[in-house]
Amino acid sequence: MNNTNGVDGSPLFGETTDERAEYVIDEPIDLRADLAALGIEEVDKGVCEDNFTNRAILRRARLSWDPVYSTNGVPTGLIRARSKETQIERRLLSLAEKRPIMTDPKNNNSDFLTGLDLLAEEASDYLVPPWVVHSTRLYLKEQEAGGPASAKRKPLCQPHRCRQVKDDGIRCMLWSSGRPNDDGLCRIHLRSTKHKTSDDIARAREKLTQAAPYAVDMLEDLMENAESEPVKLKAATEILDRAGVRGGIEIDSNVNIDVRPAASIIAERLNRLAAGAIEASAKLAEAGLIIEPDKDIIDAEVVSGQEEEETDAR
């Protein structure tokens, strides 16, 4: 069995070669987050295993993390937490590199250069995304032409710096497209505040899949250690239900048929009609209406079909 370990002797996940791979973290130990204070078991200073529990603790502590790779580029199954001090330091260093394209280099929250000033700055070639430079050139070209080529076409927009200010008080360093619908936000902040995209849905499903083993562990723990019997029963039922074992349903196939004679049904209807007739007669008598007695029926002879034709002919 092949095992490769990190610098502290801990096994690295995903290694299949005989070479003993190591991971290197350039961040100083003093700036690394103290994960032990958060209740996370550390593999190294600021480094822990990548699992649902650890990520949930880091998320509650408002800490970010980066995956740790070995020196040969293989994932180690570890993550490195970034402390707030580290995040601020990284942002300040990045802002220091982008000072040439700032309107006010002394102000970290200054806007970036736009238009001709942005294109004239030599540092824009390596400090500005290519799409920003391209969109700026198209915008300036349209402005020189006096506007859009067609009246039905919307005018192009000029990219600018994202207006969002993060929790550490430093403004976002990404670019906004300048479209009115984007409200001055970059694609990251626009996604988090405006709407959810298919990438967010896929990422949410991935998180649910990763959380599934932890949910099963919780159900098993409740089934074994819960003090309430209904909780134990519910946890056991949920486990059986998810495993495809459901309780049976008793079905009674006996059919009871109550057959009543037609004579009894007719007799009941006649009795109801007779009772209704007596009640109607009583109400008419109370109202002073006189009912004539039934006239005698005169017996008639039965006339055959031939006699009827002769009678009609006459």
Report the run of H or E that residue 76 belongs to, with start and end. strand 75-82
- Which tokens is 90 given? 């990284």
Q: Is residue 298 part of a domain?
A: no
Q: Could you say which of 25, 53, 82 is where a domain stops?
A: 82
Q: Which residue range(s) make up the domain with 228?
A: 198-242
Q: Could you say which of 59, 82, 105 is where a domain stops?
A: 82
Q: Is residue 162 part of a domain?
A: yes
Find the Cα–Cα–Cα–Cα dihedral 114, 118, 120, 124, rounded to 10°.
180
pLDDT value for 150 = 83
Residue by residue, pLDDT tens for the chain (314 residues) are 333 444 444 444 444 443 445 777 777 777 677 888 888 888 888 888 888 888 888 888 878 888 888 877 788 888 888 877 777 777 888 888 888 889 988 888 889 999 999 988 888 888 889 999 999 999 999 999 888 888 888 889 999 999 888 877 888 889 998 888 888 888 888 876 545 555 667 777 777 887 787 788 888 888 888 888 888 888 888 877 877 777 666 666 677 777 778 888 888 888 888 888 888 888 888 877 655 555 555 555 555 555 555 555 55
Tell me which DSSP letter residue 100 carries.
G
Q: Is residue 172 part of a domain?
A: yes
Q: Is residue 267 part of a domain?
A: no
Q: Is residue 181 part of a domain?
A: yes
Pair 49, 20 in one domain: yes
Contact 86, 65 (CB under 8 A): no
Report the run of H or E that residue 64 belongs to, with start and end. strand 64-69
In sequence order, what are the residues at sequence separation of 6 or more whose Cβ sits closer than 8 angstroms to the Cβ of residue 205?
none
Pair 214, 122 in one domain: no
d(CA 25, CA 7): 11
Q: Could you say which of 82, 111, 136 is where a domain stops?
A: 82
pLDDT value for 2 = 37
- How many structural domains is the chain composed of? 3
- Which tokens is 188 given? 């990251």
Count Cα neighbours of 33 within 13 Å in the Cβ-side half-sphere.
Answer: 28
Contact 120, 181 (CB under 8 A): no
